[in-house]
Amino acid sequence: MQQLRLEPIHRVQGTVNVPGSKSLSNRALLLAALANGTTTLTNLLDSDDIRHMLEALTLLGVSYQLSEDKTQCTVIGNNGVFNTDGNIELFLGNAGTAMRPLCAALAASHGEYVLTGEPRMEERPIGALVDALSQVGADIDYLKSNGYPPLHIKGKSLSGGKIQVDGSVSSQFLTAVLMAAPLFSSDSEIEIVGELVSKPYIDITLDTMAKFGIDVENQDYQRFKIVGNQTYQSPGTFLVEGDASSASYFLAAGAIKGGVVKVTGVGAKSIQGDIKFADVLEAMGAKVTWGDDFIEVTGAPLRAIDMDMNHIPDAAMTIATTALFATGTTKMTNIYNWRVKETDRLAAMATELRKLGADVNEGHDFIEVTPPSQLKEAAIDTYNDHRVAMCFSLVALSDTAVVINDPGCTAKTFPDYFERFASISE
């Protein structure tokens, strides 16, 4: 296993243009593939999650041209659902944004598919999505455990109608049904059961669908109405915003040890809910300046906060390590679904924060972090979770070095994260 030792960083300063958003890249690729017309995506993210979507599209017969640096992709739309022969097996790594939306789109396509992934993907739930799609006639079987990938899908025309979606574990199930619903043969009315988690990701979905010509009636995130038998229309070009979750590490570094740190490519006009991470830093005492296409943070003494972080599940992990630099006990609540992501993130964060000497209280759906007076040097296990690796890099902003085990796991969403982090470190 590789290890990366980060020596104490005395100051951070500079500008980082963050790579494209994972959530937008994979949504736009799928809709471009289903659309009528050719779409050129720019600022596409080049990372494992996007590679899995691209490889799946290749196997589904979609033609596209990827630039040498893999950040521009011209996709020739299929003008509707996929039509394939034989049994096609798609390996989707640990990419939720590939597994869930493709499951729904393929259930409504013509062909037979097996969807697989990394071992952890087989522990990430998908039953709520399969149950929702079954209500409109989908034919999906579990190949190993009920409720989890791998899946066998016999694609067929799906009817539309009334669909109940349990939104309490992942918003990606609703996203998947929403993106497939225009392909159903008649109109759909989706009703949410349970409390919808990670709600801002639904705004990303609806906004991307609108850019591809499909409007959804959103009744307060409780009910959604979508006209059936429609075709996505290519917008011609689609600019992928910078990734707001990836921005969180640099913004936090600025708050902890700035100097001034500016991220570009994402700003006040972003559709991504994770820009609200900057508001959390502000509530902790940092100075935040917003532009349409940038966010800038200046460091200041930080104080602990007590906050519901359900709306920013990914960027919230960055607060768990930022808490090491804040006076008092930081409490982050309503984050149960950290447990069903790349790893059980509540358990992983608690274990690794304790190695540094922090006092941690881990609950079913919350975590409380109290920093020690002096951090201990530790080797941080990353559990094949890119965000664990990235958020613990912040420890080097103390006067204690930190070792990150398996730093290459950032490839899921941010392959050159550590080089970018070094570029603002002095």
Ligand X SMILES: O=C(O)C1=C[C@@H](OP(=O)(O)O)[C@@H](O)[C@H](O)C1
Ligand Y SMILES: C=C(OP(=O)(O)O)C(=O)O
Active site (annotated) includes residue 314: yes
Task: With beta carbons less than 8 A apart as the criterion, state whether 135 and 104 touch.
Answer: no
Q: Which residues contact 216 (CB under 8 A, 6 or more apart)?
A: 178, 181, 206, 209, 210, 224, 225, 226
Near ligand X by CB under 6 A: residue from 198, 234, 270, 382: 198
| Residues facing residue 83 across a β-bridge | 110
How far is C-alpha 32 from the chain's CA centre?
Answer: 19
Q: Is 345 annotated as a binding residue?
A: yes
The footprint of ligand Y on residues 366-395 (CB under 6 A) is 387
Degrees, nearest 5: CA angle 52-268-310: 60
Residue 111 labelled as part of a binding site: no
Residues 73-112 that bind ligand Y (CB under 6 A): 94-97
By beta-carbon proximity to ligand Y, the closer residue of 314 and 406 is 314
231 forms part of the interface with ligand Y (CB under 6 A): no
Asked whether residue 314 is marked as a ligand-binding residue, the answer is yes
Least CB distance to ligand Y at residue 100 (A)? 8
Looking only at residues 299 through 328 of this chain, which bind ligand X when binding is defined by CB under 6 A?
A: 313-314
The DSSP letter of residue 71 is: S
Task: Determine whether the annotation assigns residue 412 to a binding site.
Answer: yes
Q: Which two tokens stand for residue 119?
A: 């071992």
Distance CA 274, CA 340 (A): 19
Q: Provide the b/e sequence for 28-62 (b: ≥16 CB within 10 Å).
A: bbbbbbbbebbbbbebbbbbbbbbbbbebbeebeb
Collect contacts of 234-237 with beta carbons under 8 A, ≥24 apart.
Answer: 234/32, 234/35, 234/36, 234/37, 234/38, 234/39, 234/77, 235/39, 235/211, 236/37, 236/38, 236/39, 236/40, 237/39, 237/40, 237/41, 237/42
Q: Is 150 in the site for ligand X (CB under 6 A)?
A: no
Task: Please report how close the Cβ of residue 94 comes to ligand Y at its closest, in angstroms.
Answer: 6
Query: Active site residue: 314, 381, 385, 406, which one?
Result: 314
Residue 148 binding ligand X, by CB under 6 A: no
Q: Binding site annotation covers 387?
A: yes
The β-bridge relationship of strands 402-405 and 326-327 is: unpaired
Measured from the CB atom, the residue of 216 and 424 that comes closer to ligand X is: 216
* Residues 336-355, interacting with ligand Y (CB under 6 A): 341-342
| 23 touches ligand X (CB under 6 A) | yes
Strands 359-362 and 366-370: antiparallel
Q: Annotation-wise, does 373 bind a ligand?
A: no
Instruction: Supply the minimum distance, in Å, between the C-beta of residue 172 and ligand X.
Output: 5
Only segment of 61-69, 170-178, 254-262, 328-336 that touches ligand X (CB under 6 A): 170-178
Tokens of residue 70, six digits: 């893999």
State the catalytic residues: 314
Q: Provide the binding-site residues for ligand Y, judged by CB under 6 A.
A: 94-97, 314, 341-342, 387, 413
Q: Provide the binding-site residues for ligand X, judged by CB under 6 A.
A: 23, 96-97, 170-172, 175, 197-198, 201, 313-314, 337
Which residues are part of a known binding site for phosphoenolpyruvate? 22, 96, 124, 172, 345, 387, 412
Which residues are part of a known binding site? 22-23, 27, 96, 124, 170-172, 198, 314, 337, 341, 345, 387, 412
Which residues are part of a known binding site for 3-phosphoshikimate? 22-23, 27, 170-172, 198, 314, 337, 341
